[in-house]
Amino acid sequence: MNYLKFILLLGLTACELSRAREADTGQQAGPSSNPVHPALFTHHDRYREGRITHRRFKHRDLVPLLDSLGKDARFRVSPAGTSAEGRSIHLVSAGGGPVKVMLWSQMHGDESTATMAMLDMFNFLRTSDELDPVRRAILEKLTVHFVPMLNPDGAERFQRRNALEIDLNRDAVKLQSPESRILKRLRDSLQPQFGFNLHDQNHRYTAGNTAKPATISFLAPPYDHAKSVNAVRGNAMKLIVGMNRALQAYIPGQVGKYSDSHEPRAFGDNIQKWGTSVVLVESGGHPGDTEKQFIRKLNFVALLDALHAIAGASYERENQEDYYAIPENEKYLFDLVVRNVLVKEGNVQHLTDIGINRYEINAPGATDFYYRSQIDEVGDMSIYYGYEEFDARGMLYQCGKIRKDPFRNITALRKEDPMALLREGYSGVRVKRPVTPFQLRDIPVNVVKNARQCPTAPALNLIPEFFLTGGDGTIRYAVINGFIIPLDGQTTNFKNALVLN
pLDDT tens digits for 305-346? 999 999 999 999 999 999 999 999 999 999 999 999 999 988
**Residue of 49, 130, 263, 377 with catalytic role:** 263
Please name which of 153, 110, 122, 130 lies closest in space to residue 51, comparing C-alpha atoms.
122
Q: Compare 19 and 489 and report the one with higher pLDDT.
A: 489
According to the model, what pLDDT value does residue 33 have? 63
The H-or-E segment that residue 351 falls in is strand 348-362
pLDDT at residue 452, as a whole number? 78
Task: Please report, as a single letter, which amino acid is at residue 275.
Answer: G
Distance CA 182, CA 178 (A): 6
Q: What is the pLDDT of residue 257?
A: 98
Residue 32 has pLDDT above 60, yes or no: no
pLDDT higher than threshold 70 for residue 25:
no
Pairing of strands 277-283, 216-219: antiparallel
The verdict on whether 388 is a catalytic residue reads: no
Taking only the tens place, the pLDDT of each residue in 81-104 is 999 999 999 999 999 999 999 999
Q: Is 113 helix (H, G, I), strand (E, B) or coil?
A: helix
Domain ranges of the chain: 44-330, 333-500
> Which of the listed CATH numbers 3.40.190.10, 3.40.50.300, 1.10.3430.10, 2.30.40.10 matches domain 333-500?
2.30.40.10
Does the structure show a pLDDT above 90 at 386? Answer: yes
State residue 18's pLDDT score.
Answer: 41
> What whole-number percentage of the chain has pLDDT above 70?
93
Q: Give Cα 268 to chain centroid, integer Å.
A: 19
Q: How many CA atoms lie less than 13 Å away from 338 in the CB half-sphere?
A: 30
CATH 3.40.630.10 fits 44-330, yes or no: yes
Q: How far apart are CA 416 and CA 357, in angstroms?
A: 29
Q: What percent of the chain has pLDDT over 90?
A: 90
Q: If you average pLDDT over residues 450-475, what whole number do you get? A: 92
Does the pLDDT of residue 17 top 60, yes or no? no
Pairwise CA distance, residues 133 & 79, whole Å: 30
Q: Which residues of 212-236 are buried (b: 16+ CB within 10 A; e: fewer)?
A: bbbbbbbbbbbbeeeeeeeebbbbb
Distances in Å between the Cα of 128 and the Cα atoms of 22, 69, 298, 366 are 18, 16, 21, 37
